[in-house]
Amino acid sequence: MKTVVSKETSRKTSVAAFSVHRRVPVRNEFLAGMDSDFLYHLGFSSSQDLKSMFGDVKFFCCGGSAQRMGEFAQKVANEIGPRGEGELPFGLKPCKIGKTDRYSIFKVGPVLISNHGMGMPSMSILLHEVTKALHYADAKDVTYFRLGSSGGVGVSPGTVLLTTEGMNGLVEPHYSLPILGKMVHRPAILDVSLAESIVTAAKKRLQDVKVEMGKTMGADCFYEGQGRLDGALCAYNEDDKMQFLRLLNKRGIRNIEMEATMFAAFTHELNIRAAVACVTLLNRLEGDQVLATPEELEEWDERPGDVVLAYIKEELGL
Mind listing the pLDDT tens digit for each residue in 248-259? Answer: 999 999 999 999
Q: Cα 37 vs. chain centroid, distance in angstroms?
A: 24
Whole-model pTM: value is 0.90
* 288 Ramachandran zone, left/alpha/beta (phi>0; psi -120 to 50): alpha
Per the structure, how many domains does the chain have? 2
- Helix, strand, coil share of the chain (percent; to 5): 30, 25, 40
Of the three residues 121, 141, 161, the one that is the final residue of a domain is 141
Amino acid 81: pLDDT: 64
Judge if 116 and 239 occupy the same domain.
Answer: no
Judge if 155 and 210 occupy the same domain.
Answer: yes
Judge if 153 and 137 occupy the same domain.
Answer: no
Judge if 40 and 158 occupy the same domain.
Answer: no
Judge if 30 and 163 occupy the same domain.
Answer: no
> Is the predicted pLDDT of residue 91 greater than 90, yes or no?
no
- CATH number at 246 reads 3.40.50.1580
Query: Rounded distance, CA 269 to CA 5, Å?
Result: 12
Amino acid 20: pLDDT: 66
Of the three residues 141, 171, 200, the one that is the final residue of a domain is 141
Of the three residues 141, 164, 187, the one that is the final residue of a domain is 141
> Is the predicted pLDDT of residue 10 greater than 50, yes or no?
no
Q: Dump pLDDT digits (tens) for 196-216.
A: 999 999 999 998 899 999 999
Judge if 301 and 173 occupy the same domain.
Answer: yes
Distance in Å from the first CA to the final CA of the chain: 53
Which domain range does residue 190 map to? Answer: 147-318
3 lies in a domain?
Answer: no
User: To 5 degrees, how large is the angle CA 230–CA 234–CA 237?
Assistant: 90
Q: How confident is the model at residue 12 (pLDDT cuts 50, 70, 90)?
A: very low
Q: How confident is the model at residue 279 (pLDDT cuts 50, 70, 90)?
A: very high
Judge if 290 and 224 occupy the same domain.
Answer: yes
Query: Rounded distance, CA 178 to CA 171, Å?
Result: 18
Query: Rounded distance, CA 233 to CA 180, Å?
Result: 31
> Is the predicted pLDDT of residue 52 greater than 70, yes or no?
yes
Q: Dump pLDDT digits (tens) for 280-305.
A: 999 999 988 888 899 999 999 999 99
> Is the predicted pLDDT of residue 236 greater than 70, yes or no?
yes
> Is the predicted pLDDT of residue 110 greater than 70, yes or no?
yes
Phi, psi of 254 (to 5 degrees): -110, -10
7 lies in a domain?
Answer: no
Judge if 137 and 160 occupy the same domain.
Answer: no
> Is the predicted pLDDT of residue 99 greater than 80, yes or no?
no
Amino acid 130: pLDDT: 97
Judge if 310 and 185 occupy the same domain.
Answer: yes
Judge if 114 and 180 occupy the same domain.
Answer: no
Amino acid 168: pLDDT: 97
123 lies in a domain?
Answer: yes
Mean pLDDT estimate for the chain: 89
Judge if 77 and 127 occupy the same domain.
Answer: yes
Query: Rounded distance, CA 151 to CA 148, Å?
Result: 11
214 lies in a domain?
Answer: yes
> Is the predicted pLDDT of residue 1 greater than 50, yes or no?
no
131 lies in a domain?
Answer: yes
Judge if 48 and 153 occupy the same domain.
Answer: no
Query: Rounded distance, CA 304 to CA 148, Å?
Result: 7
Amino acid 94: pLDDT: 67
